Amino acid sequence: MQPVCIPLSLTNVYLLPCDGGFLQIDAGYQHDYPAYRRGLAKAGIPLEQVRCLALTHHHDDHAGFLNELTRDADLILIAHRLAGDLLRGGANDRSRGGGYVNRRIRFLAGLKARFDPRWSLSFPPFTLRERDLRVGGDDDALLRRLGVPGALLYTPGHCIDHLAVVLDSGEAFCGDAAANFLTWAGTRHCCVFMTDMDQAYRSWQKLLDAGARRIYPAHGRPFAAGRLRRDLGRIQNRDLARFFDGRTE
């Protein structure tokens, strides 16, 4: 099954067929909203056909335009229950430790922070509504009820509230649980920022065990899931370059 992909400034948004329309995976930065609407139109999908949105996690580049989207579209959000407070807080969670996958990435992130005035790691706060669906862990039933043959997997490691979508046919929409971005800088299919590498690799194993064959990341191009098997365990928690102190721990 070939998903519709709308590449935004940094984030890929994917759309999969569901009952009565489409399930969307993620939303981009707030400033991506006009580009998202143009991308949707270009793909020939009217906004009212976007029936639900699975949010992989609360970060600024995934939850940025939820206010605009829920204002304009009558859709149901699906998120991990831990995302509720984090979305209301309007900032990427830094309370659970972690850091950049290596010093080179931290250096690049520092440059980005210096020269891109929009780089804030915060986003307009969003409050999940009564009608939105909160998931407490792995869920093999919810997506099927919506007409999507697949499961939601709880996949922490990049952050605490992370979900991925794995279809029965092997396509895995992994959000930031894995990435194909800045690989030349040694990311080894991790996202640039990680909270806990042990947890992250358990999440990769979970994706593989669930039958993931092709990975559709939020950042970078799709790739074969075998590459995760190859890179499992390559970065340790002690390798992470922390945010502020310039030391590894």
Instruction: Let me know: does 84 contact 128? Beta carbons within 8 Å.
Output: yes
Nearer to Zn ion, 18 or 83 (CB): 83
CB of 61 to Zn ion, least distance (A): 6
Nearer to Zn ion, 29 or 33 (CB): 29
Residues in 59-98 that interact with Zn ion by CB under 5 A: 59
Give the total of residues touching Zn ion (CB under 5 A): 2
Nearer to Zn ion, 171 or 176 (CB): 176
Residue 176 interacts with Zn ion (CB under 5 A): yes or no: yes
Cα(96)–Cα(164) distance, rounded to whole angstroms? 20
CB of 164 to Zn ion, least distance (A): 12
Choose one: 1-9, 119-127, 172-180, 182-190; the region binding Zn ion (CB under 5 A).
172-180
3-state DSSP assignment of residue 77: strand
3-state DSSP assignment of residue 225: coil
CB of 149 to Zn ion, least distance (A): 26
Nearer to Zn ion, 22 or 29 (CB): 29
Cα(87)–Cα(27) distance, rounded to whole angstroms? 13
Cα(83)–Cα(81) distance, rounded to whole angstroms? 5
Nearer to Zn ion, 92 or 102 (CB): 92
Q: Give the ranges where the chain is alpha helix by DSSP (H).
A: 33-42, 60-63, 66-72, 83-89, 103-115, 142-145, 197-209, 226-231
Question: For residue 34, with 0-12 CB atoms within 10 Å meaning exposed, 13-18 middle and 19 or more buried, which class applies?
Answer: exposed
Q: Nearest CA to 134 among 58, 197, 210?
A: 58
* Type and span of the H or E element at 171: strand 171-175
Give the residue carrying structure tokens 């590498």. Answer: 197
Instruction: Let me know: does 54 contact 69? Beta carbons within 8 Å.
Output: no
CB of 204 to Zn ion, least distance (A): 16
Residues in 7-66 that interact with Zn ion by CB under 5 A: 59
Choose one: 4-12, 16-24, 128-136, 175-183; the region binding Zn ion (CB under 5 A).
175-183
Residue 161 interacts with Zn ion (CB under 5 A): yes or no: no
CB of 123 to Zn ion, least distance (A): 11
CB of 60 to Zn ion, least distance (A): 8
Instruction: Let me know: does 35 contact 10? Beta carbons within 8 Å.
Output: no
Nearer to Zn ion, 77 or 146 (CB): 77
Q: Which stretches of the chain bind Zn ion, using CB under 5 A? A: 59, 176
